[in-house]
Amino acid sequence: MIPQYASALLISDLHLTPSMPLTAQRFFDFCEKETPKVEAVFILGDLFEYWVGDDAVISSPFQQEVQRIIASLAAKIKTYYLHGNRDFLIGQSFIQKTGMTLLPDPCSVEIAQQKWVLAHGDALCTADVGYQVFRIWVRKTWLQKLFLTLPLNWRKGIAQHLRSNSHTQDQQVCSSESNLRKMDVTREACAAVLRDQSGNQLIHGHTHLPRQHEESLGTQAWQRWVLSDWDLDHPESLRPRASGLLIEGNGVRYLDLIKN
């Protein structure tokens, strides 16, 4: 039976890291102030900027604080988590200590008596063939187990290297409209996942392009809501960003979470 709730808040792509204290503080405030208004909270991936293993929490006061805040939230409100492309190594230890429930990507839930298909979104960007090959490899269980046997400082170094490469690629992507399309979800992928889940309403993050879409492919039609990323620490590059999607009996709407 799929989860069923009368109301819910959905967020994604917070990319929490000690170097972004304003963003982290806004998430802490969100957990305290906005979440009591709903029955459930869904975090659709990339809660952290990167994750190199649950054992890293022991040496990270920042991750310990995030863990404590989420555990406090989950003790009061049902809280769900879905792996992102940056923190797919979050394991059962962290999930259990926070009290969250891990969901598969994609999955279906019922909110306000409607069915919704949830996904992080990276698997839907099928035009980016190179990334999809990379994704298949890093999601292999044997490779993850091998990575987690490496010394923690090695794992952090690898993560930093991948982040640096990703930042460079993002800058190159933004210079071309064709590259931007390549990094977005495809209608074919969205249609396929909705067919598999027998749904027509999709919510995802990853692309950092928050917007509601009315889409179709052949005889199949659906609605798609894209969640915002969060960044309150770099206003010099882009305007501050933080929002969530509220679903309740009165309908669906984006919540501006930039201010408390």
Top-confidence residue, 260 or 16:
16
Kindly give, in sequence order, each residue whose CB lies less than 8 Å from that of residue 38, ignoring residues fewer than 6 positions away. Answer: 5, 7, 8, 9, 77, 246, 248
What's the mean pLDDT when you consider all of the chain? 92
Closest CA to 48 of 88, 14, 83: 14
What is the value of pTM for the model shown? Answer: 0.93
**Residue 183 binned pLDDT confidence (cut-offs 50, 70, 90):** confident
Instruction: Give mean pLDDT, residues 154-163.
Output: 89
Which 8-state DSSP code applies to residue 39? S
Q: What pLDDT score does 174 carry?
A: 47
Top-confidence residue, 216 or 182:
216
Instruction: Give mean pLDDT, residues 192-207.
Output: 97
Q: What pLDDT score does 69 carry?
A: 98
Q: What percent of the chain has pLDDT above 90? A: 85
User: What burial class does residue 219 get, using C-beta atoms within 10 Å of its C-beta: 0-12 exposed, 13-18 middle, 19+ buried?
Assistant: exposed
Residue span of the structural domain in which 93 resides: 4-256
**Residue 229 binned pLDDT confidence (cut-offs 50, 70, 90):** very high
Tokens of 102: 């891990």
How far apart, in whole angstroms, are the C-alpha atoms of residue 107 and residue 61? 32
**Tally of domains within the chain:** 1
The pLDDT tens digits for 52-108 are 999 999 999 999 999 999 999 999 999 999 999 999 999 999 999 999 999 999 999
CA distance readout (Å), 91 to 42, 84, 87:
17, 12, 9
The CATH number of the domain holding residue 202 is: 3.60.21.10
Kindly tell me if the per-residue pLDDT of 235 is higher than 90: no
